[in-house]
Amino acid sequence: MSSGPPIRRRPTGPVRPGQQPQVNVIGRSIRRFDGKGKVTGETPFGGDLAGPEAYTALVIRSPHPHCEIEDVELAAARAIPGVVAIFTGDDIGGTNRHGLIRRDQEVFSRRARFMGDCLGLIVAATPKIAQRALEAVKVSYKELPIVATMDDALAEGSYPLHETGNVLSTELIRRGDADSALAESDVVVNTETRTQCVDHAFLDREAGMAYMEDGVVTIYASGQWIHEERRLVALALGLPQERVRIIQPATGGAFGGREDISIQIYLGLAALKLDHPVRIEYTREESMIARHKRHPIRIEYTLGATREGVLTAAKVRILSDEGAYASTGPAVLRKAVSHCTGPYRVPNIHADGVAVFTNNNPTGAMRGFGACQLAIAYESAIVELSRVLKIDVVELKRINLLDDGEGVTTDQKIPVVGVRDCMEAALRRIGWDKRSYETPAPHLRRGYGVSTICFGVGYGDGFPDASRARVRMADDGVVEVFTGGVDFGQGLHSLAAQIAAKELGVDPLAVRVVASDTHRTPESGSSSATRQTVFTGNAVRLAASEVAGQLLDVAAAYTGLHWDDLELRGNAIAAKHDIAGHEDRTVVLPLRQAVRLGRERGYALDVESCFKPRTVAKQKGTGKSPRAFITYMFASHVAEVLVDIETGEVKVARIVAAHDVGKAINPQQVEGQIEGGVVQGLGMALMEEVVSEGGFMKNASFTDYIIPTIVDTPTIEALVIERDDPEGPYGARGVGEPGLIGTPPAILGAIADAIGTQVHETPANAERVWKAIKRSERAGDGASA
Amino acid sequence: MTDTLYYQPKSVDEALQIKAELGAEGTFLAGGTDVVVGIRKGKLKVARTIDLSQVPGLDGIRRHDGFLEIGAMTTHKALEQHDVPAALAQSCETVGGPQIRYLGTVGGQIGTASPAGDVSVALIALKADVELRSAARGTRRLPLDEVFVGPGKTVIADDEMVTRVFVPLGRRSDFYKIGKRDAVAISLVMAAASVGPAGDVAIAIGCVAPVPLRIKRAEALLDARGLSDEAVDEAATIAREDCSPISDHRGGADYRRAMAGTLTKRLLSRLREVTPVKAKPAESSAEVA
């Protein structure tokens, strides 16, 4: 095995003003310009924006998970002094509908399909009055049969949640002949994996404000794709898009949980109807009840191999709980199916996926987007195969991991497959060959797990996927970047500044970023799908390099030198190398002067660029695609755990996470994303679970919905591997989601290593681990639970 | 959140006077970590609040006459930082997070009467007594395990308040909690046990019955037979038999019942050893301290 490309060490410190900033701007941990305000608490978030004059809006939600609304009695609530208005479906001018893929969700529902459905909107002078009015509302309704589980949804004669029935969508992959290949395989293993419903649990609850300005509904609310949100608000309210403006305030986390519409339409409607500022701030309980969740997915996995451990075929059946509405469900199901064999070479694949409606929370986007549930499934099958074949799991991976140029599940050939580099780096760091199984007490067992995963970047499958960015030189010589891409904490805006700074030879901290305002910034698609580094990164780079080219032309005309002998460096245009008459790479023109000259000569120095790479729709009947995604991320995590075999408690001691990010434009941000993903993945692996019974959520609070604290967080070592992506900016490929995806399978593998049997249901909490141990004891061997 | 009338007495006598007048209508407010949250969430109907924060003399820890006397308003944090029996210290360390431990009090925990009360379980296993006081009848003292009768229900009369807890000194003790995570977690199951200077044993288990449960049948068996392997196994079996756990979103009844036995055995085995043992699994060498 080659030693692979070098692991990046974090460069020392930020670029300070006065240094030559274009040197090493890329690959340097530039300080975040939004960092100080967030650390000191000065930065206002969505809940901090409205003044005391603003009205408070409060949503009337369904009293039951599935019911026809017969009447909403509002007279008593309206009579309360201070209640300004109560809106229902009669008051909305447009379609009264929203939904990212299907417009299947009513703003004001006449038939509620889950507890979060909205029946009306109270607007009052103060939050207290609004609450009192809410308590005075009486809803009469006819209960409908509750479809609580996926089995209920598929049962014959199940009550249809939508006109099209209870199946939202299906997906498949057909490659080779899986049935024959399995019949001829020396070994075949079967596993069934069940993943849970997970909440995004971001700290910054849904909160914002809206007001009317020059006839434009102006909404401050945190989403993930402001231009799509503007489209949805305009459609629902029946307004032209020009009359809707969405501005994103500072945002505390999203993780996919802000992809669906939340408060934007309510705010817009109230401001429009009342011509007065209005605020909304969800409580934590409301935030959990109203928002979509991660899909619980059940995966039946059959994996075949030769005696030597070479994979022959996979047969995969995927069943996904879509909850009450489509949300991004069809795309999540496609991502699950199209990632069902992960980073492994599997010549024969037969996969089927079905997404079904239930009366649970709609499920939609969340970090990992179907790929993380399937990673748990395929890694579980690999662990099972390793046990049956008695081949070490790492050796089994070495036999079967993809190499450069080979095809993933969809048969898309991937030019750069960094997964082996990631795994070997992670194994070296953890000291795999010398790992110790010693424990401080006989009831404790130590275990190690290795995951290897992949993730397609961007929307893919031929869906139009574009980012636009505008870069202009202001008259004062300051570089301005305009992006509609939202930054919910991941650092996109600092990244955009860093790229513009690199292209224009200025200090990244001096770049002015104008962002996330539908009236001022170009559409940059969503901050999701691990896409913004590649998409907005490339758009900024294209725009900035074109402005740079114009500036070089200006300087060339001014100096008489060839533009190709010049470069932008240190707020100036300078000789690229020693030129006669310009020895020692002298500065020929300060930037500000170049801007003035350029303007005089008619240069706009203002460029909008678009990055819109082509992907190819899936082939009918096979689900294959030569280019389902523009690029793939690869990663490998190694987890070390201690399991108490008497109680089932698991303590994660250490996680090493190696990611091929192509190029770490800002290494500290990359490491931060990986570490955050690891902690979120640990929560999914061990503790997080939305518990619902018959459509009623049982744990809609942070007292009962348990996410990891710092005390639960292990030592995390993020290893950044850099194998250039052919198309990413400076070779970068993205980083957002794989940090989560790689974590649950590594931890579950480590638990299996420790206790000799697998836990097939997440979260692997103490009770489930204990039950797996008991089952295995009863079975009398280390057989899989 | 509904509005409530609020009283702020300046002495124990005044507090008891108000409580006697209000009866069941009046709710004492100690640290507020349960009462305030309950009111805000609409889960606790409180007509009148009697805030004890300005009443002097209700907090503090002192050794007296073979007992540790703990004032009702003593916080978990204060106990954690004081030289108290191991089970008590460990239970206080695992209650909520630092913010809750700085506010929550021993008296409040007893008054709340949660079957998941970590400190109540530790105190019962330490054979602690509680002192109750009323304006009309003065003080009375009874074993803590006799105080609880159901979730949120106690024998404390409508005109009484918890004033002190008495913990007998000289008992070796241990505590173990299973939660959904390692901090700010309501217990899934937890247990405490102690051995007195004369070898008498006490065991209490939380979250496996409507009240923090003392396993007296097992105690009697161990007092008769000592901490032999067989006796400890039998005690664990009794603990499983004598509890009546429920299933909820935190965990299943089967698991809780099994853990009642497992933790009983674990704690008793540890108490047999002379050296105190850490409550949680030791962490990896790679763990950051």
- Token pair for A295: 């899909």
Residues 6+ apart with CB under 8 A from A769: A643, A648, A649, A650, A751, A755, A759
Please indicate, yes or no, if residue B99 is contained in any of the structural domains: no
Cα–Cα distance between A281 and A290 in angstroms, integer? 12
**Letter for the amino acid at A293?**
K
Q: What are phi and psi of A728, to 5 degrees?
A: -70, 160
Supply the CATH classification number for the domain A297-461+618-779: 3.30.365.10
Does 3.90.1170.50 match the CATH number of domain A46-144+206-281?
Answer: yes
Q: Are B203 and B124 in contact (CB under 8 A)?
A: no
- Across the interface, whether the CB atoms of A651 and B281 are under 8 A apart is answered yes
d(CA A408, CA A742): 17
Q: What is the mean pLDDT of residues A464-493?
A: 97
CB contact at 8 A, A552 and A568: yes
Q: How far apart are CA A213 and CA A204, in angstroms?
A: 26
- Assess whether pLDDT exceeds 50 at residue A22: no
d(CA A204, CA B261): 42
Helices A264-274 and A226-237, packing angle to 10 deg: 50
Q: pLDDT value at position A781?
A: 56
The predicted structure's pLDDT at residue A785: 38
Cβ A236 vs Cβ A270: under 8 Å = no
Chain B closest CA to A257's CA: distance in Å? Answer: 23
Question: CB A711 to CB B183 under 8 A?
Answer: yes
Asked if residues B106 and B72 have their Cβ atoms less than 8 Å apart, the reply is: yes
Dihedral (C-alpha) B16, B20, B22, B25: value to the nearest 10 degrees?
Answer: 90
Largest CA distance in chain A: 88
Position of tokens 């420790």? A754
Residue pLDDT, tens place only, A45-62: 999 999 999 999 999 999
Cα-based torsion angle of the residue sequence B208, B210, B213, B216 in order, rounded to the nearest 10 degrees: -110
List Cα–Cα distances, B29 to A626, A658, A669, B48, B166, in angstroms. Answer: 67, 51, 46, 10, 22
Do residues A89 and A106 touch, judged by C-beta distance below 8 A?
yes
Residues of chain B with Cβ-Cβ distance to A443 below 8 Å are: 266
Cβ neighbour number for residue A561 with a 10 Å cutoff: 20
Read off the pLDDT of residues B68-86 as tens digits, 9 standing for 90 and up: 999 999 999 999 999 999 9
CB A652 within 8 A of CB A749: no
Q: How high is the pLDDT of residue B273?
A: 78
Which of B223, B235, B183, B190 has the alpha carbon at shortest distance from B208?
B190
Q: Where are the domains of chain A?
A: 46-144+206-281, 297-461+618-779, 466-611
Residue-number span of the structural domain to which B202 is assigned: 172-272
Instruction: Write phi, then psi, for A769 (nearest 5 degrees).
Output: -65, -45
DSSP 3-state assignment of A29? coil
Is the fold of A46-144+206-281 the same as that of A297-461+618-779?
no
Q: How far apart are alpha carbons A280 and A208 in whole angstroms?
A: 6
Query: Does B69 reside within a domain?
Result: no
Question: Is the residue at B262 inside a domain?
Answer: yes
Is A572 touching B (CB cutoff 8 A)? no
Domain CATH for B200: 3.30.390.50
Q: Is the pLDDT of residue A579 over 80?
A: no
Q: Which residues of A touch B186 (CB under 8 A)?
A: 703-704
Best residue in A134, A437, A645, A647 for a mutation probing chain B (most B CBs within 10 Å): A647
Exposure b/e, A653-674, CB count within 10 A at least 16 = b: bbbbbbbbbbbbbbbbbbbbbb
Gap from B119 CA to chain A (nearest CA, Å): 19
The upper half-sphere exposure of residue A367, i.e. CA atoms within 13 Å in the direction of its Cβ, equals 29
Percent of chain A with pLDDT over 70: 96
User: Which token pair is B175?
Assistant: 């505590």
Cis peptide before A763 (omega within 30 of 0): yes
Q: Identify the residue whose tokens are 């089995």.
A: A151
In the Cβ-directed half-sphere of A21, how many Cα atoms lie within 13 Å? 26
- Cα separations (Å) of B17 from B8, B10, B46, B158, B160? 12, 11, 18, 12, 10
Residues of A in contact with B282 (CB under 8 A): 439-441, 444, 642
Strand order across the beta sheet in which A606-611 lies: A512-515, A479-483, A467-473, A606-611
| Chain B residues with at least one Cβ partner in A under 8 Å | 1, 97, 178, 180-186, 188, 248-252, 255, 258-259, 262-263, 266, 280-284, 286-288
| Beta-bridge partner residues of A660 | A634, A721
Q: What is the DSSP string of A561-630?
A: S-GGGEEEETTEEEESS-BTTBGGG-EEEEHHHHHHHHHHTT---EEEEEE-----PPPTTT---TTSSS
Q: Please, what CATH class does the domain formed by A466-611 belong to?
A: alpha beta
Residue pairs spanning A and B at CB distance below 8 A: 84
Q: 3-state class of B58 per DSSP?
A: coil
Closest in B249, B262, B286 to A653, CB measured: B286
Q: Min CA distance, A581 vs chain B (Å)?
A: 59
Report the 10 Å Cβ neighbour count for A509.
18
DSSP B226-280: -S-HHHHHHHHHHHHHH-----BTTB-HHHHHHHHHHHHHHHHHHHHSSS---SS
**Rg of chain A taking only CA atoms, in angstroms:** 27
Give tens-digit pLDDT for A634-690: 999 999 999 999 999 999 999 999 999 999 999 999 999 999 999 999 999 999 999
Structural domain count of chain B: 2
CA atoms of A454 and A402, how far apart (whole Å): 10
Pairing of strands A650-660, A715-721: parallel
Question: Cα(B210)–Cα(B148) distance, rounded to whole angstroms?
Answer: 9
pLDDT, one tens digit per residue, over A591-602 is: 999 999 999 999
- Asked, for residue B218, whether it belongs to a domain, the answer is yes
CA distance A49 to A175: 54
CA distance A232 to A589: 48
Mean pLDDT of chain A, nearest integer: 95
- Chain A closest-CA separation from residue B249 CA (Å): 6
Please give the structure tokens belonging to residue A34. Answer: 């939004």
CATH code, domain with B17: 3.30.43.10
Residue B188: list chain A partners with CB under 8 A.
766-767
Residue A46: which of A199, A201, A273, A210 has the closest Cα?
A210
- Which burial class, exposed, middle or buried, applies to A472 when counting CB atoms under 10 A from its CB (0-12, 13-18, 19+)? buried
Query: What's the pLDDT tens digit per position in A742-769?
Result: 999 999 999 999 999 999 999 999 999 9
What is the DSSP code string of B79-129? HHTS---HHHHHHHHHSS-HHHHHH-BHHHHHHHT-TT-HHHHHHHHTT-E
Do B269 and A697 form a contact (C-beta atoms < 8 A)?
Answer: no
**How far apart (Å, rounded) are the C-alpha atoms in residues B146 and B159?**
18
Rounded to whole angstroms, the Cα distance separating A481 from A606 reads 10
φ, ψ of residue A386 to 5 degrees: the values are: -60, -40
**What's the pLDDT tens digit per position in B197-237?**
999 999 999 999 999 999 999 999 999 999 999 999 999 99
Q: Which residues of B touch A706 (CB under 8 A)?
A: 180-181, 185
Q: A606 pairs with which residues across the strands?
A: A472
Ramachandran category for residue B23: left, alpha or beta (phi over 0 → left; psi -120 to 50 → alpha): left
pLDDT, tens only, A78-132 = 999 999 999 999 999 999 999 999 999 999 999 999 999 999 999 999 999 999 9
Per DSSP, what are the bridge partners of residue A349? A175, A314
Q: What are phi and psi of A398, to 5 degrees?
A: -60, -35
Task: Give mean pLDDT, residues A383-390.
Answer: 98
Chain centre to alpha carbon of residue A594: 41
Mean pLDDT value of segment A693-701: 96
A767 contact residues in B (CB cutoff 8 A):
188, 251-252, 255
What's the rounded Cα separation, in Å, for the pair A760 and A772?
Answer: 9
> Strand A348-357 relative to strand A311-323: parallel, antiparallel, unpaired?
parallel
| Mean pLDDT (whole number) for B7-12 | 97
Is B252 among the domain residues? Answer: yes
Are B33 and B100 within 8 A, CB to CB?
A: yes
Q: How far apart, in whole angstroms, are the C-alpha atoms of residue A508 and residue A501?
A: 5
Say which of A644, A653, A698 has its CB closest to residue B249: A698
